């Protein structure tokens, strides 16, 4: 159960200060990396820890909620923090009332500053060692900081499972730009293994849900720190090799976005915990967040390592236990994320990493009466299937399962005659062909005024033919590489072959497909004279963009066409320098997308800048990267506590009848 502790208030005015020795029985106050009995804000929070003295006997502060692992203060939950007795170093110095104690962690050195002066010696700490300085203060005002490696003892009874299981159904993940090379071997879980994972999630649910929210949140802050430092190279390398992303695309995904998800979700949780219901003279009222009753199933895609980590971790942070089924073509990078969470302190059995056949996994989880929610990113067809299976089993569930899904899109660039000619070219190149068009938000249909058509096609053709390097992502000047697998290659090639054979379409640039060594589909620009062609309606999920040229005077008609052509509603862009027309067009396309971009490309949402998601066949629009997403994984509870016994059953109107 997530319960905000009302006895400790968050004092954001003191954010960023160091520890200060103050009056009132000698206390340590200030800011660490995250928390001690307080919610977290931007990976920092004010805390106050009383240091008690008993004569000349020193009091070990690891018996109060205080600990530190480089940048994160961690709340212990079982009375004490145990350690392996290994001493890494010690700093001991005199302190006086009002002294400012500062901390710095840089290049594996933990430094202590008293009133700005560094204390010797600095303590060297490995970046992969969980280290806590333990504070002692004696009656003579001696600050004694000792360093050692520590761990949290598990709750009574421990957590269940967390063991590796191998089956005989061995699968392989290949390198998409060199498909003769296997990058990872893994096995599919069968029904019995999936059921064991469900049992594990259910067994550990209450223990995990009852941990203080601060401690759960700190695990993900620690994971973010690990992803930004010692594990960053692993994340980027496995994303480049396993999913064919260039170094730039891998960095903004597997490192930057994943770290942002973990840190901002903690921020969003801290903001949610600020709400307090009104209490009265008769009752105290509280409002808190629990995890859902049951288990959550996370089904994640290949195209963003960050999405896999986010869909699995956001429910866990809110107190849920879950099964994580990664995409077969992103197993390795997903497993790296899983390992990071383990190193950050996630107990076994909270997230159960379960690669599996999609149908077997889906049918097994939807037949469980304890299914609480499905966290999904993938195709609309698959999401429909899951929804159908849930509806077929509706009578067996303990509660109505929540289905949170982000699906595909047929994303548009709507270009007005007043648009900047260079912007529309560069934005369309990036939106259509970055990561070979394998982003849910990728632009795949363009509405182009005839007055701009000639220059647009000339510039697009020149860039595609002469400036875009399509090759191995290991060559850093590569713009994009191969598509993810043979199934994707065949599907995209079928659309290109259709365009070549169609009387209403023609290839302007690209159209080359070669799967001899890797699954290469070169960026392809198609012009169509039929605005309702399937090339303008169906999701292709590859480096293919189709352009419809319209008469400049028919822009109003085109706006309606944009809204009505495709069943999707994910992203879209309007390019227009006329502010009046831009405002009216935005209003008319109010429900055509979940993310709208004005004079910018349809891709590139950033956590807590453009929360992401769409409606219609594009999903449930729960906006990952925004403040409301985590609340979808919570079941709030309101509690009324009466202060006085009732002394009558009568209403006020009954007590003094006239």
Same domain for 234 and 97: no
Residue 645 within a domain: no
d(CA 452, CA 548): 12
Residue 644 within a domain: no
Residue whose pair of structure tokens reads 């077929």 in the numeric block: 392
Tokens, residue 123: 């303590």
pLDDT at 85: 37
Spatial contact of 45 and 38, defined as CB atoms under 8 Å apart: yes
Same domain for 439 and 311: no
d(CA 31, CA 10): 11
Same domain for 221 and 86: no
Distance between the two ends of the chain, CA-based, in angstroms? Answer: 49
pLDDT at 131: 39
Mean pLDDT of 346-368: 97
Closest CA to 147 of 59, 85, 222, 58: 85
Same domain for 348 and 460: no
Largest CA distance in the chain: 96
Residue 643 within a domain: no
Residue whose pair of structure tokens reads 């001696």 in the numeric block: 142
Beta strands in 32-108 (DSSP E): 46-50, 59-60, 68-69, 72-73, 82-94, 100-106
Spatial contact of 234 and 23, defined as CB atoms under 8 Å apart: no
Going by pLDDT thresholds of 50, 70 and 90, the confidence category of residue 657 is low
The alpha helices in 467-607, defined as continuous H runs, are 486-501, 534-537, 555-565, 579-588
Same domain for 392 and 450: no
d(CA 511, CA 507): 7
Half-sphere CA count of 395, side-chain side, radius 13 A: 1
pLDDT in tens, 611-636: 999 999 999 999 999 999 999 999 99
Closest CA to 454 of 411, 413, 507, 508: 508
Q: Is the pLDDT of residue 142 over 80?
A: no
Spatial contact of 219 and 341, defined as CB atoms under 8 Å apart: yes
Same domain for 548 and 451: yes
Number of domains in the chain: 3
The DSSP bridge partners found for residue 27 are: 22, 50
More confident residue, 262 or 41: 262
pLDDT at 658: 63
d(CA 150, CA 131): 6
pLDDT at 118: 77
Same domain for 353 and 241: yes
pLDDT at 89: 52
Over the chain, what is the mean pLDDT?
A: 82
* Residue 423 φ then ψ, to 5°: -60, -45
Going by pLDDT thresholds of 50, 70 and 90, the confidence category of residue 117 is confident
How many residues are present in the chain? 658
Radius of gyration in angstroms for the set of CA atoms belonging to the chain, rounded to a whole number: 28
Are β-strands 544-550 and 371-377 bridged in parallel, bridged antiparallel, or unpaired? unpaired
Mean pLDDT of 205-217: 93
CA 161, 167, 171, 172 dihedral sign is positive
pLDDT at 109: 64
CATH number, domain of 417, equals: 3.40.309.10
Same domain for 388 and 251: yes
Residue 567 within a domain: yes
Residue 542 within a domain: yes
d(CA 393, CA 373): 14
Q: Which of 498-502, 545-549, 649-653 has the lowest mean pLDDT?
A: 649-653
Same domain for 523 and 381: no
Residue 501 within a domain: yes
The alpha helices in 323-376, defined as continuous H runs, are 331-343, 358-366
Residue 182 within a domain: no
Q: Domain limits at 538? A: 411-607
pLDDT in tens, 221-263: 999 999 999 999 999 999 999 999 999 999 999 999 999 999 9
Residues of the chain above pLDDT 70, percent: 76
Q: Is 539 an annotated catalytic residue?
A: no
Selected catalytic residue, list 76, 214, 257, 406: 406
The alpha helices in 367-485, defined as continuous H runs, are 380-392, 421-433, 450-466
d(CA 206, CA 364): 22
Q: Is the pLDDT of residue 145 over 70?
A: no
pLDDT at 164: 86
Mean pLDDT of 279-304: 96
Residue 582 within a domain: yes
Closest CA to 444 of 347, 353, 543, 532: 543
Closest CA to 484 of 516, 514, 519: 519
Residues of the chain above pLDDT 90, percent: 73
How many CB atoms sit inside 10 A of residue 28's CB? 21
More confident residue, 22 or 456: 456
pLDDT at 151: 33
Q: Which range among 2-6, 51-55, 270-274 has the greatest average pLDDT?
A: 270-274
The DSSP bridge partners found for residue 575 are: 415
Q: Which of 132-141, 243-252, 521-530 has the lowest mean pLDDT?
A: 132-141
Spatial contact of 73 and 33, defined as CB atoms under 8 Å apart: yes
Same domain for 233 and 374: yes
Mean pLDDT of 388-397: 98
Same domain for 458 and 431: yes
Closest CA to 326 of 348, 310, 347: 310
pTM of the model: 0.78
* Residue 284 φ then ψ, to 5°: -100, 130
d(CA 589, CA 583): 10
pLDDT at 655: 81
Same domain for 453 and 358: no
Structure letter (DSSP) for residue 117: E
The DSSP bridge partners found for residue 133 are: 147
CATH number, domain of 246, equals: 3.40.605.10
């Amino acid at each position: 159960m997530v319960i905000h502790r009302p006895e400790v208030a968050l004092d954001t005015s003191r954010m960023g200060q160091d520890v200060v020795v103050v009056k009132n029985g000698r206390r340590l106050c200030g800011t660490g990396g995250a928390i001690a009995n307080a919610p977290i804000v931007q990976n920092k929070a004010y805390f106050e820890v009383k240091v008690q003295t008993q004569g000349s006997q020193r009091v070990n502060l690891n018996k109060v909620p205080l600990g530190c692992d480089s940048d994160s203060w961690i709340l212990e939950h079982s009375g004490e923090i145990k350690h392996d007795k290994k001493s890494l170093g010690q700093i001991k110095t005199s302190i006086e009332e009002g002294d400012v104690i500062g901390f710095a962690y840089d290049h594996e050195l933990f430094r202590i500053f008293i009133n700005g002066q560094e204390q010797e010696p600095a303590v060297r700490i490995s970046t992969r060692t969980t280290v806590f300085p333990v504070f002692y203060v004696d009656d003579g005002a001696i600050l004694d900081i000792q360093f050692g490696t520590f761990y949290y003892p598990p709750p009574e009874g421990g957590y269940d499972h967390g063991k590796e299981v191998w089956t005989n159904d061995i699968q392989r993940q290949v390198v998409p730009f060199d498909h003769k090379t296997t990058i990872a071997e893994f096995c599919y879980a069968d029904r019995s293994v999936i059921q064991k994972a469900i049992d594990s999630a259910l067994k550990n649910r209450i223990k995990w849900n009852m941990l203080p929210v601060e401690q759960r949140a700190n695990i993900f802050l620690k994971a973010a720190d690990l992803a930004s430092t010692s594990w960053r190279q692993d994340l980027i390398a496995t994303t480049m090799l396993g999913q064919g992303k260039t170094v730039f695309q891998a960095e903004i995904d597997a490192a930057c976005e994943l770290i942002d998800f973990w840190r901002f979700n903690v921020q969003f949780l801290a903001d949610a915990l600020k709400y307090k219901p009104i209490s009265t003279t008769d009752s105290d009222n509280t409002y808190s967040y629990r995890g859902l009753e049951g288990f959550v199933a996370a089904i994640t895609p290949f195209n963003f390592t960050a999405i896999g980590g986010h869909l699995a971790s956001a429910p866990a942070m809110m107190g849920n236990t879950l099964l994580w089924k990664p995409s077969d073509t992103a197993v390795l990078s997903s497993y790296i994320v899983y390992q990071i969470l383990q190193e950050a302190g996630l107990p076994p059995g909270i997230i159960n990493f379960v690669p599996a056949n999609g149908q077997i996994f889906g049918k097994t989880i939807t037949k469980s009466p304890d299914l609480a929610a499905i966290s999904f990113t993938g195709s609309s067809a698959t999401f429909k299937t899951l929804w159908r299976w849930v509806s077929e089993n509706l009578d067996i569930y303990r509660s109505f399962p929540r289905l949170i899904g982000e699906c595909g899109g047929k994303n548009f660039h709507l270009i007005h005659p007043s648009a900047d000619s260079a912007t529309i070219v560069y934005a369309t190149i990036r939106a259509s062909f970055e990561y070979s068009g394998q982003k849910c938000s990728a632009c795949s249909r363009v509405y182009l005024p005839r007055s701009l058509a000639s220059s647009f096609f000339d510039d697009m053709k020149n860039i595609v033919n002469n400036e875009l390097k399509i090759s191995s992502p290991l060559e850093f000047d590569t713009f994009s590489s191969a598509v993810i697998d043979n199934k994707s290659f065949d599907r995209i090639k079928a659309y290109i072959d259709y365009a070549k054979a169609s009387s209403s379409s023609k290839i302007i640039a690209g159209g080359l497909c070669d799967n001899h060594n890797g699954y290469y589909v070169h960026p392809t620009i198609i012009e169509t004279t039929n605005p309702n062609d399937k090339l303008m309606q169906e999701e292709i999920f590859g480096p293919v963009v189709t352009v419809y040229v319209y008469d400049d005077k028919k822009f109003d008609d085109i706006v309606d066409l944009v809204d009505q052509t495709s069943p999707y509603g994910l992203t879209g862009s309007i390019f227009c320098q006329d502010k009046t027309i831009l405002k009216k067009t935005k209003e008319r396309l109010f429900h055509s997308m979940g993310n709208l971009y004005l004079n910018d490309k349809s891709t590139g949402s950033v956590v807590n800048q453009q929360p992401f998601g769409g409606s219609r066949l594009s999903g449930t629009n729960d906006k990952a990267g925004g403040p409301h997403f985590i609340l979808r994984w919570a079941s709030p509870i309101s509690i009324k506590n009466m202060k006085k016994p009732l002394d009558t059953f009568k209403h006020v109107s009954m007590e003094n009848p006239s």
